[in-house]
Amino acid sequence: DYGKIQLYAGNYDFWYESSQLLIRQMKEANKKKEEKIKELQEFISRFSANASKSKQATSRKRALEKIELDTMKPSSRKYPYIDFRPDREIGNEVLTVEHISKTVNGEKVLDDVSFIMGHDDKIAFVGGQELAKTTLFQILMGELEPDEGSYKWGVTTSQAYFPKDNTAEFDNDLTIAEWLTGYSPVKDVTYVRGFLGRMLFAGEDGVKKVKVLSGGEKVRCLLSKMMISGANCLVFDEPTNHLDMEAITSLNNGLIKFPGVALFSCHDHQFVQTTANRIIEILPDGKIVDKITTYDEYLANDEMARKRTVFTAQKEDED
């Protein structure tokens, strides 16, 4: 950061908290110095012409000259501004899934899956069954039909979806601004560019064709689309792929403060731990384990879940 390399002995959380603490300490130190400068300036202004106080005023002038404010350089790290604001409050009936089963290419990836989503749920779907998670999300978003079972969204819900495969979204000749305007309830260029700006697209970026965007830029476009939708139920299928650490942090914070509900899958342990208040693991046989808990608590209390997590991580490393 700031064009320099600085080594931190710890993990990402330690680095983030340490760097933020350092900035806060510098700001607090500057604030105290500014208060002292103001105090000295007021004394000098008041008593510099007073013969009995002239020595004290001179002394304070010297003290004032010695005070130097710490230079607060703007960080070279750029964080997008991710803020999901629902257009309406969600009701008590959110989502009911009943006995859903689905076979893909001869493999039963979902077997009699049932759960009821609560008003305050942020559900992380975990486990190594990537196809099963994607298939479930596609069913809930109406892109696939289940072989058996049903689901029902509450009448107060509105959904926004982040697919793992976004190829179809960008297979056109539209510019970024034109593409996002198509999803915007307000067909105003300034309004749309405001959302693009939050995601670090500068003014001239708005005329870039969406089909030539990088993986990270496409992800930021999709997040802009979800923000502009005003949905109160967000569905994410691996949203941190192609994002840098700054964007992941911003998305993480945006989901934490999101007042609606969320269903998501993600390989980032910290993201899952800090966002989810309910864990659903899809097992290799297509059935689920459903726990109202944090991810760390889920792993701590279930030895088999820990073993499956370690096995999945080792398999991903081999791939």
Do 292 and 254 share a domain, yes or no? yes
What average pLDDT does range 117-135 have in this prediction?
A: 96
Asked whether residue 278 is assigned to any structural domain, the reply reads yes
Do 221 and 89 share a domain, yes or no? no
Q: Which spans in the chain are helix H?
A: 12-47, 54-66, 130-140, 176-181, 189-198, 215-229, 245-257, 269-275, 295-301, 303-318
Share of the chain above pLDDT 90, in %: 65
- Report pLDDT for 73: 63
Cβ atoms of residues 240 and 162 within 8 Å: no
Do 59 and 84 share a domain, yes or no? no
Question: CA–CA separation, 316 vs 319, rounded Å?
Answer: 5
Structure tokens, 128:
């190594």
Asked whether residue 86 is assigned to any structural domain, the reply reads yes
The pTM of this model reads: 0.77
Q: Report the C-alpha dihedral over residues 165, 167, 170, 172, rounded to 10 degrees.
A: -150
Do 224 and 261 share a domain, yes or no? no
Domain boundary among the residues 180, 196, 229 is at: 229
Which range, 71-80, 175-184, 193-202, 306-315, has the best average confidence (pLDDT)?
A: 175-184
Domain boundary among the residues 186, 211, 229 is at: 229
Query: What ranges make up the beta strands (E) of 57-202?
Result: 95-104, 107-117, 122-126, 148-153, 159-162
| Rg of the chain, C-alpha, whole Å | 26
Do 98 and 241 share a domain, yes or no? yes
Do 174 and 314 share a domain, yes or no? no
**Is it the case that residue 137 has pLDDT exceeding 70?**
yes
CATH code of the domain containing 89: 3.40.50.300
Residue 214 DSSP SS3: coil
The number of folded domains in the chain is: 3
Asked whether residue 101 is assigned to any structural domain, the reply reads yes
Do 58 and 95 share a domain, yes or no? no
Condensed to tens digits (0 to 9), the pLDDT of residues 225-266 reads 999 999 999 999 999 999 988 899 999 999 999 999 999 999
Structure tokens, 313:
């991580």
Q: Report the C-alpha dihedral over residues 118, 122, 128, 132, rounded to 10 degrees.
A: 50
Do 151 and 252 share a domain, yes or no? yes
Do 149 and 236 share a domain, yes or no? yes
Cα-based distances in Å from 111 to 124, 191, 278, 282: 18, 44, 20, 10
Q: Is the dihedral of CA 253, 257, 262, 263 positive or negative?
A: positive
Q: Residue 281: which pLDDT band, with cuts at 50, 70 and 90?
A: very high
- Report pLDDT for 312: 63
Question: CA–CA separation, 272 vs 236, rounded Å?
Answer: 12
Asked whether residue 269 is assigned to any structural domain, the reply reads yes
Asked whether residue 72 is assigned to any structural domain, the reply reads no
Structure tokens, 309:
């997590």
Asked whether residue 149 is assigned to any structural domain, the reply reads yes
Question: What does the angle CA 192 – CA 224 – CA 161 come to, to the nearest 5 degrees?
Answer: 130
Residue 71 DSSP SS3: coil
Condensed to tens digits (0 to 9), the pLDDT of residues 25-65 reads 878 888 888 888 888 888 888 887 777 777 787 888 888 88
Do 41 and 113 share a domain, yes or no? no
Which of 315, 313, 282 minimizes the C-alpha distance to 123?
282
Question: CA–CA separation, 126 vs 293, rounded Å?
Answer: 13
Do 56 and 87 share a domain, yes or no? no
- Report pLDDT for 176: 95
Cα-based distances in Å from 265 to 28, 136, 139: 39, 11, 15
Do 247 and 219 share a domain, yes or no? no
Asked whether residue 29 is assigned to any structural domain, the reply reads yes
Cβ atoms of residues 111 and 287 within 8 Å: yes
Asked whether residue 118 is assigned to any structural domain, the reply reads yes
Domain boundary among the residues 229, 258, 274 is at: 229
What is the domain extent for residue 148?
Answer: 78-158+231-319
Condensed to tens digits (0 to 9), the pLDDT of residues 157-178 reads 999 999 999 999 999 999 999 9
